[in-house]
Amino acid sequence: MGSRASSLLREEDIEEIKKQTGFSHSQITRLYSRFHSLDKGENGALSREDFQRIPELAINPLGDRIINAFFPEGEDQVNFRGFMRTLAHFRPVEDNEKNKDPTSGEPLNSRTNKLFFAFRLYDLDRDDKISRDELLQVLRMMVGVNISDEQLGSIADRTIQEADTNGDMCISFSEFTKVLEKVDVEQKMSIRFLH
């Protein structure tokens, strides 16, 4: 029997997700099909194994961290709402949204929120600071066995030195934002969803 994916998604849910994330109706149904095809256990939620089954993600050096970003603190399952909330960070920032006065708080795909998503990839213990250890961990994940500990350590030290303004040997979110102020975050952390 073919997957009757979109018949399990109610109109009210779609409307709510639309408001929260800014995706269009057809994008939401299309992403629901994708969610459903990843959900091998057919229980309406994705587990870490479901993500790891994607080969292109499994070979991504930061694959595990990215998967982690989808799961709320301490949980093992992510439902469709949570899935869409995380994906919403990668929506491109449209011009008319830049000028919109956000009465309902900042949209999920604002520059700040995109930067915060990336910050969270470094900041594993969620204490709002990237320590030297956390930076080293991420660097090690990205280079594998190809660079020695000392060299990696000096890279980490130099990065913290450049970014740290208040001398606490850690990078806070505001320091992180300052370092990346010239980078076109809106473009680099966006995926062009069609329709």
Partner 1 sequence: MESYLFPFDSLICMLLGISFTVWFTLLLVFIIVPAIFGVSFGIRRLYMKSLIKLFEVSLLVIDRCFVKHFDQIIEKNWFKMSLEQEIQDMRRGGAEPEFDMSDIFYFCRRGVESIVDDEVTKRFTAEELESWNLLTRSNYNFHHISTRLTALWGVGVLIRYGFLLPLRVTLAFTGVGLLVVLTSIVGLFPNGRMKNYLSDKVHLMCYRICVRALTAIITYHDSENKPKNGGICVANHTSPIDVIILASDGCYAMVGQVHGGLMGVIQRAMVKACPHIWFERSEVKDRHLVAKRLSDHVADKSKLPILIFPEGTCINNTSVMMFKKGSFEIGCTVYPVAIKYDPRFGDAFWNSSKFGMVNYLLHMMSSWAIVCSVWYLPPMSRMEGEDAVQFANRVKAAIARKGGLADLLWDGGLKRGKVKEVFKEEQQKLYSKVLVGSSEDGSSS
The contact set with partner 1 (CB under 8 A) reads 1-7, 26-27, 29-31, 33-34, 37-38, 51-63, 66, 87, 90, 117-118, 121-122, 138-139, 142-147, 150-151, 153-155, 158-159, 162-163, 171, 176, 179-180, 182-183, 185, 188-195
Q: Do 6 and 32 meet the contact criterion of CB atoms below 8 Å apart?
A: yes
How near is the Cβ of 59 to partner 1 at its closest, in Å? 4
For partner 1, the closer CB: 100 or 154? 154
For partner 1, the closer CB: 100 or 188? 188
How near is the Cβ of 113 to partner 1 at its closest, in Å? 13
Handedness of CA 174, 175, 181, 186 (dihedral sign): negative
| Number of Cβ within a 10 Å radius of residue 80 | 20
For partner 1, the closer CB: 93 or 138? 138
How near is the Cβ of 179 to partner 1 at its closest, in Å? 6
- Cβ neighbors of 50 (< 8 A, separation 6 or more) are 38, 39, 40, 41
For partner 1, the closer CB: 53 or 100? 53
In order, the DSSP letters of 98-143 are: HHS--TTS--TTSHHHHHHHHHHHH-TT-SSEE-HHHHHHHHHHHH
How near is the Cβ of 34 to partner 1 at its closest, in Å? 6
Phi and psi, residue 149, nearest 5°: -60, -45
How near is the Cβ of 103 to partner 1 at its closest, in Å? 28
